[in-house]
């Protein structure tokens, strides 16, 4: 899978890709991530990329031309399955979306800044808009890193069996059950007996019950 990220803050977004799971996926050749500094497509000596909004109001808006130039350059090189815009005014990312995106070959992720991008960018180029939650970040860079992490770990071969994504929270619309490791007792707090029993059908049953109980308590909306 190839991901092209268009950003005004490339340094802000690079480090998650230089560490841990995403770095491993890139090193294994399972994911390819390219960063494009929007400023390189800006106007004039100052490489202008934003301007005041029509109608007045606080905050600058990213202009359509630099973004169009960058996207069209990329589109002249390959076909993209999705052009995603990270923005708080969109549907919230969930596991189903991450699963779907993990099967794509080429995607562009556009990150907003300031007041966001000119609406015509969204109308003309963007095929999918994603928010990572009901709060406003300074820019879409961290949101794009979150999206990439959620997607890249699902690409077959990225995670080993020991960290399989299949038992993650949300994979069945349920939260994960509690987990324990050694010691089996800490300051009088004991690990549930069933987990030490070696009876795997019973363990599975206990985990399912716990997952359901936790979901009902914390996220009943997932059960609707
Ligand atoms: N940009 C700013 N806030 C965001 C959010 N919550 N999700 C996605 N992109 C954003």
Return the ligand 1 atom nearest residue 135 CA: 6
Q: What is the CA(60)–ligand 1 centre distance, in A?
A: 16
Quote the ipTM score: 0.98
Compute the distance between CA of residue 171 and CA of residue 153 in angstroms, rounded to an integer. 13
Token pair in block for residue 13: 């977004």
Instruction: Check the annotation: does 140 bind a ligand.
Output: no
172-220 tens-digit pLDDT: 889 999 999 999 999 999 999 999 999 999 999 999 999 999 999 999 9
The protein residue whose alpha carbon is closest to atom 5 in ligand 1 is 88
Please report, for the chain, the start and end positions of each structural domain, with discontinuous segments joined by +: 2-152, 169-223
Q: Tens of pLDDT along 64-102?
A: 999 999 999 999 999 999 999 999 999 999 999 999 999
Regarding the beta carbon of 131 and ligand 1, being less than 6 Å apart is answered yes
Instruction: Tell which CATH classification among 1.10.1270.20, 1.10.260.40, 2.40.370.10, 3.20.20.300 matches the domain 169-223.
Output: 1.10.1270.20
Q: In CATH, which superfamily holds the domain spanning 2-152? A: SPOUT methyltransferase, trefoil knot domain (3.40.1280.10)
């Amino acid at each position: 899978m190839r991901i092209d990220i268009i950003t005004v803050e490339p340094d802000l977004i690079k480090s998650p890709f230089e560490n841990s799971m995403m770095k491993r996926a890139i090193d294994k050749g399972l994911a390819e991530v390219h960063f494009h500094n929007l400023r390189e497509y800006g106007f004039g000596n100052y490489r202008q990329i934003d301007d005041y909004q029509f109608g007045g109001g606080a905050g600058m808006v990213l202009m359509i031309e630099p973004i169009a130039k960058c996207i069209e350059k990329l589109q002249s090189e390959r076909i993209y399955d999705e052009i995603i815009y990270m923005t708080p005014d969109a549907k919230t990312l969930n596991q189903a979306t991450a699963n779907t995106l993990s099967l794509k070959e080429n995607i562009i992720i556009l990150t907003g800044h300031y007041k966001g991008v000119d609406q015509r960018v969204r109308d003309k180029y963007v095929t999918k808009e994603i928010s990572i939650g009901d709060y406003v970040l300074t820019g879409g860079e961290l949101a794009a890193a979150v999206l990439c992490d959620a997607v890249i770990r699902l690409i077959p071969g990225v995670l080993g069996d020991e960290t399989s994504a299949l038992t993650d929270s949300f994979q069945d619309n349920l939260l994960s059950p509690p987990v324990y490791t050694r010691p089996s007792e800490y300051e009088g707090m004991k690990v549930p007996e069933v987990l030490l029993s070696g009876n795997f059908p019973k363990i599975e049953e206990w985990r399912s019950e716990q997952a359901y109980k936790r979901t009902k308590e914390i996220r009943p909306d997932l059960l609707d």
